[in-house]
Amino acid sequence: MISIQTQHFNFHRIFLLAVGLWPYQQSWLVKFQLVLFFSIQISFILFQLTVFISAKCTPDLVIKVLSIVLLLIMYAIEYNSFRMNAQAVRCLFEQLQHICNELKDENEIAIIKKYGNNAKRYAAILMLLYICITIIMFLLPILPRLLGFVLHINATQPRVMQQLMPNYIIDQGKHFYLILLYMYAALLIGATALVGIGMTLLSYLKHACGMFRIASYRIEKAITMWTNTRLENEIIIYKEIAYAVDIHCKAIKFSLFLLYSFRRSHILLISVGVICLTLNLYAIAVNASHGGDVEQLLLHFLIAVIIFLYLFLANYAGQEITDHNDYVYFTAYTVRWYTASVHVQKLILFLLQRGSKTFSLNFGGVVSLSLELFAALTKASLSYFTVIYSMQQ
């Protein structure tokens, strides 16, 4: 028997527990943690925007502030969407566990374990990237002071600190470490939530791919079982094909339920992500061409990498779902169906007719998650960046 939570979602559970988003055991203390963490994120965003109160609003200032704020808004949107859909997340866990419990064939169990292990590998890679980027982000604000302490020189106020926290609100020199703690808390909560939620949703979709692969395996198994025209064998083949169609329908319903639960928030996330990527590409170009501060250049580069990875992984997962669904019908087409009886051939024909309609994770009938959409979003970001950069020259 496969225990989904302990075998395939142990990394995810750690991340989600850290930010209070694990959908089980929601005590009053966890609910307080949710409110506190979300309040920290929102208040930090508001602090970023207060710079427009006293400072003169120029295009450069707007781009400079929004390039940071939009990433924080993405953190808040993702955190809140998962918090609001805790029941849907539990339901997805239960559906997945129920489907795994129904698997009796050793090969089918091996398939779902293979895809579960692949999901764990993706989670491990994301954890490694998360640790590396977090360490760099944490060192940026304190690096000048560390160098000043080691080299015994007067350290200037870090420009990254000035950009992340407006100086006129609080005296940064007097309350440096308090502000630093507040900034670290907001960034760490948002980044941990984004990685934990991303790993969970990606793992859900990888398990859905495993279900599609099991459907293909059952079709292959049904046809290879055919040896003669005896009624008993024919009935067994009917059952095997019915089992294949059953798990295929479950995979589609599972994927659609996941899409339906998070469709609004992820449409907004993709839109904000494209704008954020555009602004950070502009900030990178400006700092690189005008010999800007290295710390700010590195900060905007890291943000661009985060957005780029988010857009790529989301669309890659959607492309995987489409490809695995198509492979089910490809299997039905390539197996030796012509050796089966006429009744079995008719069943295969129904499958092939259904395969004429491509299944994809479609948002509102407008766009579908795919590598094609990722290329389009990247191209759009580069186009917007080019227009903004040319207008500012």
pLDDT in tens, 49-68: 877 776 677 777 788 888 88
Segments forming the whole domain that contains residue 191: 4-392
37: number of Cβ within 10 Å: 23
Segment 336-340 shows an average pLDDT of 64
Q: 47 versus 237: which is more confidently predicted?
A: 47
Beta bridge partner(s), residue 362: 368
**Cβ atoms of residues 191 and 134 within 8 Å:** yes
Lowest mean pLDDT among 289-298, 340-349, 359-368: 340-349
**Cβ atoms of residues 19 and 189 within 8 Å:** yes
How many domains does the structure of the chain reveal? 1
pLDDT, tens only, 240-260? 778 888 888 899 999 999 988
pLDDT, tens only, 19-45? 989 888 778 888 899 999 999 999 888
Lowest mean pLDDT among 19-23, 193-197, 293-297, 314-318: 293-297
Confidence category of residue 312, pLDDT binned at 50, 70, 90? very high
Closest CA to 314 of 202, 192, 196: 202
**Helix and strand totals (H; E) in the chain:** 13, 2
pLDDT over threshold 90, residue 319? yes
Segment 14-18 shows an average pLDDT of 90
Q: Cα 291 from chain centroid?
A: 34
Confidence category of residue 204, pLDDT binned at 50, 70, 90? very high
pTM of the model: 0.86
The pLDDT assigned to 151 comes to 46
Name the average pLDDT for the chain.
Answer: 81
**Cβ atoms of residues 370 and 314 within 8 Å:** no
Q: Compute the chain's Rg from CA coordinates.
A: 25
Segment 76-82 shows an average pLDDT of 92
pLDDT, tens only, 267-296? 889 899 999 999 999 888 887 777 666 777
**Cβ atoms of residues 11 and 130 within 8 Å:** no
Confidence category of residue 311, pLDDT binned at 50, 70, 90? very high
**Cβ atoms of residues 298 and 136 within 8 Å:** yes
Closest CA to 161 of 68, 225, 243, 40: 68
Confidence category of residue 328, pLDDT binned at 50, 70, 90? confident
